[in-house]
């Protein structure tokens, strides 16, 4: 599992001649730190990193809030057509993303959001998968807790934020981490919905090292190492909750 990661890191320090050497040259003969400077200068990566962070953080916060509320409604509230509505939501997971690209492009244009942060953020503030995952988790919280809280005069909203959310921290962290990763790695959506370099993100920048006829692997790997550092840091800080969340919701 670690081999591709190891290859990525060591390749980022290799010369172009060592990249494809057979048998593989696992350790570079000379450690070329200059690959990082070169990769950084190929595209405005500082701006791309800012955009990636901004997009990933805002969509993560937004999605966590909307999914918590929706999942609570589906898990703990009674209303007409709840199950049918939930089934419709789940059915949307089966629509291939590619099919929605053109309609979404048209919609974003008509809303006047094209090439703006709105296009990168607002459509991603809710997630059916997140709702499903949290609903399953919320259902495992005993109804008696809600009854007791209501007897004590606690409103639904307060019960949700003061009792359900703290109890569901691992599942919420899982949703948040998956969302952050998804946003951080988002390529096609960003490419489609933006034109200006100032609006683009790190994965689009990584494409700069590829062409139809060849790839500058050593530079691509240097940029890729830089791109995964924030994700790695996030994972190190949240891995306990992430693993708990995945284990307790049965998601693999």
Partner 1 sequence: MLRKGILLGLIGLMLIGFGVFAQEPVTIEFWHSMSSGHQPYLVELVDKFMEEYPYITVNLTYQGGYGDTEDKVEASVVAGNPPTMVQLYENVITPLVEVLYPIGPQMTAEEKADILDGLVENNTFDGVLVSVPWNKSIMVLFYRSDLIDTPPTTWEEFATMAADLTVDIDGDGLIDRYGTGLRPYNPELFLNYLIQNGGTILNEDWSAVTIGDQAGVEAMQYAESLVPYSYISSGYLSDAVGSDLVAMFVDTSAGYYYNNKAAVDNGFELSVARVPAGPVNNKSAIQGTNLVVFDMGQTQAQKDAAVLLARFLIRPENTVAWSLRGGYLPVVKSAYEEQAWLDYLVENPEYIVMSEAMVDGFAQILHPNYGLMRGTIGGAFEEVILGASTAVDAMANLVLDLTDLLDD
210 lines the binding site for partner 1 (CB under 8 A): yes
Which 64-123 residues touch partner 1, going by CB under 8 A? 101-102, 105-106, 109-110
Q: Which stretch binds partner 1 (CB under 8 A): 12-20, 116-124, 136-144, 151-159?
A: 12-20
Q: What binding mask, one character per residue, do residues 30-59 give for partner 1 by CB under 8 A, x or -?
A: ------------xx----------------
Angle 99-57-62 from CA coordinates, rounded to 5°: 70
Shortest distance, CB of residue 63 to partner 1, whole angstroms? 25
When the beta carbons of 173 and 223 are compared against partner 1, the nearer one is 223
When the beta carbons of 223 and 246 are compared against partner 1, the nearer one is 223
Rounded to an integer, what is the distance from CA 229 to the centroid of its chain? 14
191 lines the binding site for partner 1 (CB under 8 A): yes
d(CA 179, CA 185): 10
Binding site for partner 1 (CB under 8 A): 15-17, 19-22, 42-43, 101-102, 105-106, 109-110, 188, 191-192, 195-197, 204, 207-216
């Amino acid at each position: 599992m670690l081999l591709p990661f190891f290859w990525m890191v060591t390749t980022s320090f290799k010369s172009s001649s060592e990249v494809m050497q057979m048998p593989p040259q696992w350790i570079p003969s000379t450690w070329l730190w200059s690959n990082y400077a070169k990769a950084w200068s190929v595209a405005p990566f500082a701006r791309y990193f800012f955009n990636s962070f901004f997009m990933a953080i805002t969509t993560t916060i937004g999605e966590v809030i909307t999914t918590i509320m929706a999942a609570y409604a589906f898990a703990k509230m009674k209303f007409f057509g709840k199950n049918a509505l939930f089934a419709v939501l789940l059915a949307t997971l089966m629509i291939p993303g590619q099919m929605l690209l053109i309609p979404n492009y048209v919609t974003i244009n008509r809303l006047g959001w094209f090439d703006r942060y709105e296009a990168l953020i607002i459509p991603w503030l809710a997630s059916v998968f997140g709702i499903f995952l949290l609903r399953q988790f919320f259902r495992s919280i005993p109804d008696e807790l809600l009854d007791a809280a209501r007897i004590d005069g606690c409103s639904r909203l307060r019960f949700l934020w003061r009792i359900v959310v703290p109890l569901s921290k691992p599942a919420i962290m899982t949703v948040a981490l998956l969302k952050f990763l998804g946003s951080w790695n988002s390529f096609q959506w960003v490419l489609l919905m933006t034109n200006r370099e100032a609006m683009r993100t790190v994965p689009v920048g990584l494409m700069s090292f590829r062409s139809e006829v060849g790839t500058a692997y050593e530079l691509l790997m240097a940029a890729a190492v830089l791109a995964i550092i924030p994700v790695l840091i996030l994972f190190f800080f949240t891995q306990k909750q992430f693993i708990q969340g995945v284990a307790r919701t049965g998601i693999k």
